[in-house]
Amino acid sequence: MLKPAVFLDRDGTLMEERNYCSRPEDVWVFAHVPQGLQRLAQAGFQLVLITNQSGIGRGYFTQARFRAVQAELARQLAPARLDAVYFCPSVPEMGDPRRKPSPAMVLEAARDLGLDLARSWFVGDKAIDAECGHRAGTRTVLVRTGHGPGESDADADSTAANFTEAVDHILQTRFNNPPVTHAH
């Protein structure tokens, strides 16, 4: 049976926005994110990180540095854990078909992990996260952390002040509202 997932943006959603974060010591996970992730996992959601990392394509840092940042993120999220991480290292100008707002990384994760996109959510701090989620067939929550305060909420199904509020919304509406079908 296919499993529901919560797809997660990284910078500005789970941790403080640090333009092109390339140093583990710059990782600062927002308060209560580990507990929120645990609540989602206990409710049966797979937790999948979907992140654009154009700093790699721009030459600001290497994939090894990205992995070091990810290791620190994982340490700070413990005991919660991500089930998978998908990233796109390309700069926007390259037209990489995997780069958000393309749904390609979400669709790849759905194939790899056996995910039910109609019962899944995408949580992020940018309009491109909501667009990516909608294009993949998920419901979306725009958090008002990171870039969120400056983003339009017109494309998101819901908005939340922070990740904890997003988790509360997902868990409250999970069984109450059927998935929304979006025009593609």
Tens-digit pLDDT string for the chain (184 aa): 899 999 999 999 999 998 899 999 999 999 999 999 999 999 999 999 999 999 999 999 999 999 999 999 999 999 999 999 999 999 999 889 999 999 999 999 999 999 999 999 999 999 999 999 999 999 999 999 988 777 776 689 999 999 999 999 999 987 565 555 444 4
Catalytic, 157? Answer: no
Measured in whole angstroms, how far is the alpha carbon of residue 9 from the centre of its chain?
Answer: 2
Asked whether residue 109 is domain-assigned, the answer is yes
Closest CA relative to residue 138, chosen from 151, 157, 154, 114: 157
Asked whether residue 178 is domain-assigned, the answer is no
- The residue annotated as part of the active site, out of 11, 125, 129, 157, is 11
Q: What is the pLDDT of residue 183?
A: 46
Asked whether residue 95 is domain-assigned, the answer is yes
Cβ neighbors of 88 (< 8 A, separation 6 or more) are: 51, 52, 53, 54, 96, 98, 99, 100, 105
Q: What is the pLDDT of residue 66?
A: 97
Asked whether residue 73 is domain-assigned, the answer is yes
- The residue annotated as part of the active site, out of 9, 125, 129, 157, is 9
d(CA 163, CA 81): 15
Asked whether residue 184 is domain-assigned, the answer is no
Asked whether residue 132 is domain-assigned, the answer is yes
Q: 41: how many CB neighbours lie within 10 A of its CB? A: 17
Q: What is the pLDDT of residue 176?
A: 61
H helical segments located in the chain: 33-42, 54-57, 63-77, 104-113, 127-136, 163-173
Q: What is the pLDDT of residue 151?
A: 78
Cβ neighbors of 14 (< 8 A, separation 6 or more) are: 8, 29, 30, 33, 49, 73, 77, 163
Asked whether residue 183 is domain-assigned, the answer is no
Catalytic, 83? Answer: no
Q: What is the pLDDT of residue 175?
A: 58
83 is in which domain, residue-wise?
5-173
Q: What is the pLDDT of residue 10?
A: 97
Any idea what the CATH number is for the domain that residue 21 is in?
Answer: 3.40.50.1000
DSSP 103: S
Q: What is the pLDDT of residue 177?
A: 54
Asked whether residue 180 is domain-assigned, the answer is no
Looking up tokens 């991500």 gives: 82
Number of domains in the chain: 1
Provide the token pair at 104.
């390609």
